[in-house]
Each structure stands twice: as structure tokens, then as C-alpha cells.
Amino acid sequence: MTLTEKILARAAGKGSVKAGDNVWVKADILMTHDVCGPGTIGVFKREFGPEAKVWDRHKVVVIPDHYIFTADSKSNRNVDILRDFVREQNITYFYDVIDDPNGSWKFDPSKGPLQRQYGSQYAGVCHTALPQKGHTRPGEILFGTDSHTCMAGAYNEFATGIGNTDAGFVMGTGKLLLKVPETMHFRLEGQLQPGVMAKDIILHCIGEIGFDGATYRAMQFDGPAVKNLSMDDRTTIANMAIEAGGKNGIFECDDQTRAAVDARCRLNGTRQTYEPVERDRHESFVYELTVDLSKLEPTVACHPDPGRRQLARLMTQTQLDRAYVGSCTGGKTSDFLEFARVLRGKKVVIDTFGVPASPEIVHDLQTARWDGQTVWQILVDAGVQMTENAGCAACLGGPVDTFGRMNAPLKCISATNRNFPGRMGHRESQVFLASPATVAASALTGHITDPREYLS
């Protein structure tokens, strides 16, 4: 069996499963957020009754992160709906925006978009928060009401996005009927060259299979190169499995995985026992691709879909209005470090926005120093508008007052994950997806630029 089949078989209580089987699997974690949580709660209450209790109050993880730093009253209300439900159900893991469990959330626009407006429990973008708070463990099943839930596959678990109705069902029963996906195999070999990042690997793979190339399928990433990829790198890759239509992306468990998971579970006091799945000799794949990482170059996915692959060096004619680094995909500490490495001591020539994915990342960037200067300050000095208000922000547009949202038909190069028409705001705007290094180089020139030009 493949890694995905092994996890699903175990969760279904079966000795083996094969692609195409429909199986009931037990959930280990159900994650929901402020955009789909209220609707999921609505379905749960409607279907299981007003007095119903969630199947396991320790396994429902609630992470407001999408529309937080906005004056939109309905969005603020949605965070309050989550809080009311968490209180009613006595849910253990709720990463609230505010500290008062009986309060209500209201964003204060008069303080501006840059200054921190959250309390001590807020955790930022759900997919980044899940591993940081010790909710991702090898061998487990994670459901989330968000398509990028597949990011947690980097930790050797089966993680996939589901809708409100399915999530309402899981909330009540802890189970879900799933079709076992076929597995596509991506074997990674060789060493990434300077200026090339994990984002380039996944943009390359999606370009190879097309952006519906993995529909209904699992994407398994393994091979000798994986040991040189950090957990951040692996999450970037697994995160974008959905951008090829994939049901999940998955990696093997190694020492790095175990070290990260153990440390995080200990830190937040979550369960520290888990059972990884390992590869065996009897794997059946519907597709195989070997990628030599040493041959990859900085890559861009052109408007309007993540499968429109092109090399950055061939796109210098594309003029830009804006650059953006942030989101679960591209707003991690390692992403901002690469971003800063290119921008250091220089000035951006277009509007450039930086939105860290989590408060912890804000802290990292404000404390990491290069020659006495914080990375945060290096970015600010380069002209980047850096906000402390970690969250999904303009990656998916959001309410019109969202930080970095495109409210006009602009062209933006972005370290985020999706570039369909209107994704970052205005429906005639255009988004070009690239690594943080490529975004940085492009911000310095105002057109799409290969970051290797700025590496000395």
C-alpha cells in the first residue's frame, strides 16, 4: 500500500484498502475557522439537535484566522459565534483573537493595519498554527474546513479539506466516508540550487501534471532529496497539492518530522504518542515523476491558474504593480528570511506587503538579528509594509478593507498559493505565483525577475 492507503486502512480498522474503496474513517482532528466554522456549527446544530455535543471536545480545533483584521461587522461576529460555541461545548483548543472568553471581537481600524491587535492566544493562519500548536502527528487523519488542510501531509498524516456539511457530520460522529484516492508518486532527487526554493518544486510539479492533474488523487513526495528539505519546505509542497486538484499530499516521517512533532506537542501539551506510516515494497502508483531538484530554476505560475508554469527569467517583460509575501504557503519564518536575504540593503520600487502567517513568526522576525539589525527592520527599511496582524489577509481577497487586498485591476507577484481571477480582490486583477525570493527580486525591479541576479 502507499502511505495514504496505509493511513486510511488503519483509520478504517481494516487490514488493507485499495484505491477506489469507500471506507468510513475515524478522524483524529477536525479543524475549523471563522469563515466555515459558523456554517459548520449551524449544520451540526441543525442535524444533531440544539443540545448535541461534539464527538470529542479535545479533537475539535478552532482557529480564527481568515477575516480578522477587518471592520466588517459580520466577519467580527463570526469570530464571536466561534467563541460562543467553544464555551458551550467546552472545547479545549481554541486560538481566540481576544483573551476574554466572554468578550466580543471588534477590530479597531483607527489603530491602522500594521500594529498588533490580538491577544495572547491567537495563533494565526490555521495550517501554520496546527503544527506550531502540536496538532499534527504522523499517521493521523486530519479534516479541516479549508482546502489547504492538505499542508499537514508534510507531517506524514492524511490531511484533507472538506465542506461544512461533511464537517458538521464529523463534528457529531467523528467519522467520515471517504473514497481511497489513487496515489501519484513524485520522487525528489538532487540538491536545490541557490535562489531556488520549495515553492519552485511544487510549481514545477503542478506545471507538469496540469492544475487538475491530481483531481481525486493523493500526491506522495519522497526520495533522497527530502531529507535536505526543512519541515517548512515540505509544508510548502504539501500545501499546494490542492492546486493540482489533489485530495492530499504526503511525505514520509523521518528524524526531522519526529523532532518537530515531539517538540511542538510537548510545548503545547498535546498528545505526544503517534504511529507513523512507512513505505513498503508493494505500492501501486497511477503516475510517477522523478524531479531532479538541481535542475530546477525559479518558477512562476502565471495568471489565471496555478498550472501555467513559466521560468522567471523568461518573464522579464511582465510589469508589476504590487508584490506580496504571506499566507500558509509563503508566510513562514523561512520564507521571510529568503525574502529579506534578497531585499537586504535595497529598496523595493512597487507596493510590497508582508503578512507573517502566525504571531510566532512575527516574533521570530522581530528577534532574529543580522549584524545587529532585526530581519523585520531590514524588511521595513527595504520599503516593505510589514504587518504584525498575522492571518490569511489578502491571499484570498477578503473584505474590502483587508490589508494588501487588490481593490483595482492590478498585477501582483505573490508568494501565496492560488491565482484564479479575483483571488486577491478585484476580479480583473492578476496574480503571478512565485517563491519569496522571486517575489523579492521582482519587487526590486518592478517586473518579474529571477532572484539569482541578486545573489552574490
Partner 1 sequence: MNLATIPQNSGERQDLKHLRLSIAILREYLRELTLAGKSDQILLRWARRVHPYGHIASFFASSRMMNFIDNLPRRRQHILMQSVFTGPVYVVRDNIDTDQMISAQYLNLVPTIPEEYEKLGSFALGGLPDSLYPVRFVKPGQMDSDYPIVVGGRNFGCGSSREHAPIALGSAGCHAVLAESFARIFFRNAVATGELYPCEIADRLCDALQTGDVVTVDLDKLTVTVEATGKVHAIKPLGDVRQVVDAGGLFNYARKTGMMSAA
As a whole number of angstroms, the distance between CA 300 and CA 178 comes to: 34
Asked if 35 is part of the footprint of partner 1 (rule: CB under 8 A), the reply reads: yes
Type of residue at 328: C
The stretch near partner 1 (CB under 8 A) out of 94-102, 161-169, 224-232, 311-319 is 161-169
Q: Are 455 and 197 in contact (CB under 8 A)?
A: no
456 by Cβ neighbours in 10 Å (0-12 / 13-18 / 19+) ranks as exposed
CA atoms within 13 A on the CB side of 292: 2
> Under rule CB under 8 A, which residues in 383-412 are in contact with partner 1?
396-400
Q: Which of 16, 90, 165, 367 binds partner 1 (CB under 8 A)?
A: 165
Helix axes 333-343, 359-367, angle to 10 degrees: 40
Type of residue at 135: H
Smallest distance from partner 1 to CB 188, Å: 25
Asked if 65 is part of the footprint of partner 1 (rule: CB under 8 A), the reply reads: no
Smallest distance from partner 1 to CB 308, Å: 10
Smallest distance from partner 1 to CB 410, Å: 14
Nearer to partner 1, 333 or 402 (CB): 402
Q: Which of 53, 71, 163, 258 binds partner 1 (CB under 8 A)?
A: 163
Nearer to partner 1, 82 or 260 (CB): 82
Identify the residue whose cell numbers are 521582482. Answer: 442
Cβ neighbours for 246, distance < 8 A, ≥ 6 positions apart: 150, 184, 214, 215, 217, 218, 219
Q: Are 94 and 86 in contact (CB under 8 A)?
A: yes
Asked if 182 is part of the footprint of partner 1 (rule: CB under 8 A), the reply reads: no
Nearer to partner 1, 49 or 224 (CB): 49
The stretch near partner 1 (CB under 8 A) out of 83-91, 132-140, 230-238, 344-352 is 83-91
> Under rule CB under 8 A, which residues in 303-342 are in contact with partner 1?
304-305
Q: Are 27 and 170 in contact (CB under 8 A)?
A: yes
Residue 454's CB is within 10 A of a number of other CB atoms, namely 18
Interface residues toward partner 1, by CB under 8 A: 35-36, 38-39, 41-43, 45-50, 66-67, 72-75, 77-78, 80-81, 84-85, 88, 144-147, 149, 161-166, 168-169, 211-212, 215-216, 245, 247, 304-305, 396-400, 418, 420-423, 427-428
